């Protein structure tokens, strides 16, 4: 008997916030994304093993992502803007 297992990360767009990018400094819409990594067995995603919240720059020349906490992501989406520390 053999097992086929692995990890799979799916990104889900939660919304956008209007603020300046921390990396390139360009003001604009930043994407708030939730990335969930799941343990998969026989290519079927089963158990979530990691959840990460990322604020990603929409500038195609930058595209930088900054990790934020779940609370910070919720606050950014509720207020529409803020600082990522
Ligand atoms: Zn940027």
Ligand 1 center to residue 51 CA distance, Å?
A: 23
Can you tell me the distance from the alpha carbon of 20 to that of 3, in angstroms, rounded to the nearest whole number?
46
Ligand 1 center to residue 30 CA distance, Å?
A: 8
Ligand 1 center to residue 8 CA distance, Å?
A: 26
Ligand 1 center to residue 68 CA distance, Å?
A: 15
For residue range 9-49, what is the model confidence (pLDDT) as tens digits?
A: 999 999 999 988 888 988 888 999 999 999 999 988 889 99
Ligand 1 center to residue 41 CA distance, Å?
A: 36
For residue range 61-73, what is the model confidence (pLDDT) as tens digits?
A: 998 999 999 999 9
Domain edges within the chain: 9-79
Residue with tokens 């992502």: 65
């Amino acid at each position: 008997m053999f097992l086929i297992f692995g990890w799979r990360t799916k990104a889900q767009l939660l919304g956008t916030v209007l603020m300046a990018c921390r990396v390139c400094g360009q003001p604009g819409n930043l994407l708030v994304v939730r990335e969930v990594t799941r343990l998969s067995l026989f290519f079927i995603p089963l158990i979530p093993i990691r959840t990460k919240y990322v604020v990603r720059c929409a500038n195609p020349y930058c595209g930088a992502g900054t990790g934020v906490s779940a609370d910070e992501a919720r606050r950014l989406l509720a207020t529409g803007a803020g600082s990522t520390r």
